[in-house]
Amino acid sequence: MVYFMASVDSPEDNRGFAEKNEASFPILSDPGKQTAEAYGVLGSHGYANRWTFYIDTEGIIRRIDKDVNPASAGADLVQNLQALNVPKAN
């Protein structure tokens, strides 16, 4: 399994965010907002909505969580992976 975060912020801002929060995963930058727009997450305010896309190895979107709560995001992620029958890592 691979996971990452994508943001419409600049690479420099993302690097600062990652360092401040000790992120252990890649943070991708989409400052031109083309990817955010293509995935339908770009809000009218110009920022991306916090949605989680579960995409399988064939590139098929299996689930979209549009109700992401930062306080419970980790537990929600595990619950969604279990519901999609994604095997646990050893």
Domain count, the chain: 1
* Domain presence at residue 15: no
The band of 3, judged by pLDDT with boundaries at 50, 70 and 90, is confident
Q: What is the pLDDT of residue 26?
A: 92
Residue 2: is its pLDDT beyond 90? no
Q: Identify whether 68 is part of a domain.
A: yes
For residue 89, pLDDT over 90 is answered with no
Domain span including residue 61: 50-90
How, if at all, do strands 5-7 and 61-65 pair? unpaired
> Does residue 64 lie in a domain region?
yes
Q: How many residues does the chain have?
A: 90
Banded pLDDT at 8 (limits 50, 70, 90): very high
- Report the percent of the chain where pLDDT is more than 70: 99
Residue 78 lies in a domain: yes
44 found inside a domain: no
pLDDT of residue 36: 96
pLDDT at position 68 over 90: yes
Q: Other C-beta atoms within 10 Å of 13: how many?
A: 14
31 domain-assigned: no
Pairing of strands 5-7, 27-29: parallel
